[in-house]
Amino acid sequence: MPIRVAIVGVGNCAKSLVEGIGFYTQNPAESVGLMHPHIGRFLPSDITFVAAFDIDARKVGKPLHKAINAKPNKTMKIGSSLKYPTIVQRGPTYDSVIPQLREYFIYESKSPAIDLVKALQQSKVQIVVNYLPTGSDKATYAYAEAALNANCSFINCMPTPIAKDPKWRKRFEDKGLVLLGDDIKSQCGATIVNRALLHLLKIRGIKITKSDQTNYGGNADHFNLHYRPQAKEESKEHALKSSLTSTDAHPHARMIYTEKNYDHKQAKIKIEGKIWGKAPVSIDLTLEDEDSPNSAGVVVDAIRAIQKMTQSKKVKQAPEICAFLFKSPPKQYSDDRALERFNQIVQGRKGPF
């Protein structure tokens, strides 16, 4: 049986996810780029997109496989999308668009917003993936509420604190649903690389005196972050701080919009520390990646993990697997421990890997 998914926000991340599902479906022997080719018996090809919501007039009313290529989307093409009968519906706006986005990126549809609960129920959605822009707290809560009322699990890819909130988690658990979040941890992004470096330095007995991370990007989400970066920067700093002790320097993360980069992100990581006899050591690293595919490589695991946990009635263990998939989970683990718990809970493995 297919895993029936709804996408909230048909932007670049959605484009990468939809095209990626098409790529692995059309190339079933291909496993390069997959963290988990199988999750239980579920493959990427088991995922189907039965509903999608956006507010941009260039996307609303179009089939999903066409809407993912509408402006302002222009991340790299992974492959040909499968052709879905799914039509992008007009979702509610709430706080998802700041005035500057309207001026440069978004052409808001004049169509009235649909009834979210009814739309989810009619499409028999099982899992809702939230790709709204950072800072869209009211809109994110509205979609989470609709998911609950329509008996759908929810993946919060953005920093809005939902999965960290015990009240929200309990509401999903009480209905036998899974809530995952918050703020997707990219497959090989700056935060996971920075955490690995900090962990290495700490197990080698090094005191961290400086930890700076600056992300440069030019897509619509980075433009949005230029005006409301706080939640994203706090999420990144929270993820990095979990690798440090109270005597280390507080990590700093910044988001800088550079139009020329578009979806090609550059991250500058600067770490300084003290080794034997307080002698200095430093690391300067530049990571370059395609931002949206980096997200999709994790979301595909989150979707299949929910399906496996729902079927095996392990919904109350959802907070533990969040540490592997998200920057700001209910509880932080080291990355090795997070993978170990993910495999134990979702894959049924006894060992760490």
pLDDT in tens, 184-215: 999 999 999 999 999 999 999 999 999 999 99
What pLDDT shows up at residue 222? 82
Residue pointed to by tokens 């509205």 = 142
CB 139 within 8 A of CB 93: yes
Mean pLDDT in the chain? 94
pLDDT at 125 over 70: yes
Q: Is 185 left (phi over 0), alpha (psi -120 to 50) or beta?
A: beta
Domains 3-185+293-347 and 190-290 share a fold: no
Q: Which two tokens stand for residue 87?
A: 């039509």
Which pTM was predicted?
Answer: 0.94
Eight-state DSSP code of residue 113: P
CB 269 within 8 A of CB 194: yes
Kindly list the domain boundaries of the chain, sorted by start residue: 3-185+293-347, 190-290
d(CA 86, CA 65): 8
CATH topology of domain 190-290: Dihydrodipicolinate Reductase; domain 2 (3.30.360)
What pLDDT shows up at residue 260? 82
Percent pLDDT > 90 in the chain is 84
Name residue 10's amino acid: V
Sequence-distant (≥ 6) Cβ neighbours of residue 174 within 8 angstroms:
none
Right CATH number for 3-185+293-347 from 3.40.50.720, 3.40.50.1980, 3.40.630.30, 3.40.470.10? 3.40.50.720
Cβ burial 212-244 (10 Å sphere, 16+ → b, else e): ebebbbbbbbbbbbeebbebbbbbbbbbbbbbb
What pLDDT shows up at residue 238? 86
The model's pLDDT over 299-338, given as tens digits with 9 standing for 90+, comes to: 999 999 999 999 999 999 999 999 999 999 999 999 999 9
Q: What are phi and psi of 191, to 5 degrees?
A: -65, -45
What pLDDT shows up at residue 351? 52
